[in-house]
Amino acid sequence: MHASTQPSIPINGRFSTLVIKISIPTSPAWAHDVVLNATVAWNLAQLWQNSADPVYTFVEANDGSATAKVSYQMPTAYAGIAVGWTNYNFEPNSRTSIKATQTYLDPSVFNEGQVNNLTARQLAFWLATHELGRVLGLGSILGSHDIMDPMASPARLDAPMLSTLDLYAVHVLASGSAPAFVTLPDNLQNQMVDARTFLGHGQPPTPVPEFNGYYGLIATICTMGALLTKRRKK
């Protein structure tokens, strides 16, 4: 066997249920909608990557039944080191089966005063999408523009790029496995797609091929047929 040169991502755990009920604060309304959009992006991106396979689906539930909760308050312990944080509550006697999560998002960003601040709203979507990746069980990818890189840029204003690796890893988790790491199969090229693309109306996403750790300037054009074609697994 040869050592794979494909990228890997660490795994924090997995939900056993494919429907993840999420509680999102309703105020401020703009912040609620940003987080809700991040759930939509993850839902649709998984379908794009694995249309015929198990996927996780975020469903908003503010009736007390949510297993994933979002707060716009940052505990003192995290305030000086993070602008987003997700804690896991694991099932008894398990370090991989996630029972519930609590996500904290920076109140200096997610507040009513930022409603007309386009930069803050862009940052908010990046942060929400990143932390929802944490909720899904994904760890950190360092040294790339991947949404799961916690240090994507000093101002966190990079485009919120989901990768083939991210989506493949979530597919592995949804299918029932929770390895320490997920490595992209040799027959899959790691590509990037802007998470905001999945919020468009009828436009197919355009992944950007990754070349030696850098992202190509020329995007790969995807047809609708390609979107509906199940990607072959190793």
Amino acid 229: pLDDT: 40
Amino acid 217: pLDDT: 27
Amino acid 222: pLDDT: 32
Segment 95-144, tens digit of pLDDT? 999 999 999 999 999 999 999 998 889 999 999 999 999 999 999 998 78
pLDDT < 70 regions, the chain: 1-4, 152-156, 201-234
Distance CA 72, CA 70 (A): 7
Token output for 29: 């309304």
> How is domain 8-228 classified at the CATH fold level?
Collagenase (Catalytic Domain) (3.40.390)
Amino acid 135: pLDDT: 98
Amino acid 44: pLDDT: 93
Segment 84-94, tens digit of pLDDT? 999 999 999 99
Q: How far is CA 122 from CA 85, 151, 198, 215, in A?
A: 18, 16, 15, 21
Amino acid 22: pLDDT: 98
pTM, whole model, 2 decimals? 0.85
Judge residue 155's burial from the number of C-beta atoms within 10 Å of its C-beta, 0-12 exposed, 13-18 middle, 19 or more buried: exposed
Indicate the domain borders of the chain.
8-228
Amino acid 156: pLDDT: 61
Residue 97: name the closest of 170, 178, 27, 19 by CA. 178
Helices and strands (H and E) in the chain: how many: 5, 12
Distance CA 124, CA 105 (A): 9
**Which residues, 6+ apart, have CB-to-CB distance to 155 below 8 Å?**
123
Q: How far is CA 46 from CA 72, 102, 126, 162, 171, in A?
A: 26, 22, 17, 10, 7
Judge residue 195's burial from the number of C-beta atoms within 10 Å of its C-beta, 0-12 exposed, 13-18 middle, 19 or more buried: buried
121 in helix, strand or coil?
A: helix
